[in-house]
Amino acid sequence: MLIGIALALAAAAFMAVGNLLQSRGVHLAETRSSSRKDAAVHVLRNRIWLFGSVALVVAMLVQVGSLAFAPLIVVQPIGVAALVFSVVLTSILRKTRPSRAIIRSILLCVVGVGGFVVVAAIVSTQQPIEDAQLVAVLVTLGGVLVATGIVEVLGKGRPTPPLLWVLLGGVYSAFVATLGKTVILRVQAILKAHEMPFNSTDILTIASILGIGIAGALSVIFVQRAHLDNPPEVVVAGLTVIDPTIAVVLGIVILHEATNAPLWAVVAFLVAGAVAITGVIQLARAERSPVDEVSNSSSAGERKG
């Protein structure tokens, strides 16, 4: 399990670097373009964005690899570490020290996620995934795809909330992790049995691989949209909360990774999750407050002038 936790931390580091590079690449392409369509062409030619894409692909592969060594509800919450890495890297690039509010927020995130992971490592178990469970995950993904299509149709010609793209990117990223976990367990079972019969179970495994491809592609698309309208810290903060939340819910409700968890563990999960989410919310406010102070002071200066 320690290997899975270490790989999850490495994936979080790659995710932080990838998001920062992609955010910078997207904004550079937008400033050099006259329209959103033209910006998309410039993005694909931007080396910074391409390096960011490579880092995110590596993050996804390492994250899926970590699922081979630890349960989903242990691995996914560690992704919040990407938020810490993102804030540290941003401070280095801007050559500024994080404020006390930012440091307090990071500590809350670390304490909350650390507590969650410790409890999950104690009470979680990796159960063989039955066909009915996998069908439930695929049906849930299908429902989310339909809901996304409805949102896209109804939202045409209307202003879209910037955080919507962050939300959708995190939701589909969670399905990549969940389906990836099911495929890993099934491949491990095949290798252990030393036989590869083709039956309905294998058809579901193929469907899961297709689901990973669809969810992964949509997650990338929505994250790029999120970078256009949000600072990188907000994108990372949203993803590292939404992705683990959805993945943990799927892991507990459908994959039954915490069926034997005692009542104290459930309470600990709720408390640790609340602490981590509080830290993320406070971090988002702390990241925006310097901008607000600058804008307010400049507005006051204009009124005096």
The more confidently predicted of residues 289 and 127 is 127
Residue 193, pLDDT > 70, answer no
**Confidence grade of residue 195 (pLDDT, cut at 50, 70, 90):** low
**Confidence grade of residue 300 (pLDDT, cut at 50, 70, 90):** very low
Phi/psi of residue 61, each to 5°? -65, -45
Cβ-based neighbours of 67, under 8 Å, separated by 6 or more: 4, 75, 177, 180, 181, 184
Q: How far is CA 97 from CA 91, 101, 176, in A?
A: 6, 11, 35
Q: Which amino acid appears at position 253 of this protein?
A: V
Q: Are 70 and 1 in contact (CB under 8 A)?
A: yes
Cβ-based neighbours of 196, under 8 Å, separated by 6 or more: 190, 202
Q: Are 171 and 242 in contact (CB under 8 A)?
A: yes
- DSSP for 67-79, please give it: TTTS-HHHHGGGG
Taking the CA atoms of residue 99, residue 105, residue 108 and residue 113 in that order, the dihedral angle to the nearest 10 degrees is: -120
CA distance 176 to 254: 15
Residue 236, pLDDT > 90, answer no
The DSSP code for 80 is G
Q: Are 244 and 79 in contact (CB under 8 A)?
A: yes
Q: Is the pTM of this model over 0.85?
A: no
Lowest mean pLDDT among 43-47, 101-105, 202-206: 43-47
Residue 239, pLDDT > 70, answer yes
The more confidently predicted of residues 84 and 127 is 84
Q: What mean pLDDT do residues 131-157 have?
A: 88
pLDDT tens per residue, range 47-72:
888 888 888 889 888 888 888 888 77
Cβ-based neighbours of 182, under 8 Å, separated by 6 or more: 129, 133, 134, 137, 205, 208, 255
Start-to-end C-alpha separation, the chain: 62
User: What's the mean per-residue pLDDT of the chain?
Assistant: 78
pLDDT value of residue 125: 73
Q: Which two tokens stand for residue 108?
A: 């809350």
**Confidence grade of residue 295 (pLDDT, cut at 50, 70, 90):** very low
Task: Give the up-direction half-sphere exposure of residue 26: CA atoms within 13 A in the CB hemisphere.
Answer: 23
Closest CA to 142 of 98, 185, 179, 181: 179
Sign (positive or negative) of CA dihedral 65, 147, 40, 21: negative
Q: Are 279 and 105 in contact (CB under 8 A)?
A: yes
3-class DSSP assignment, residue 55: helix
Other Cβ atoms less than 10 A from the Cβ of 99: the count is 14
Sign (positive or negative) of CA dihedral 277, 278, 279, 283: positive
Place of tokens 């507005």: 299
Q: What mean pLDDT do residues 258-263 have?
A: 78
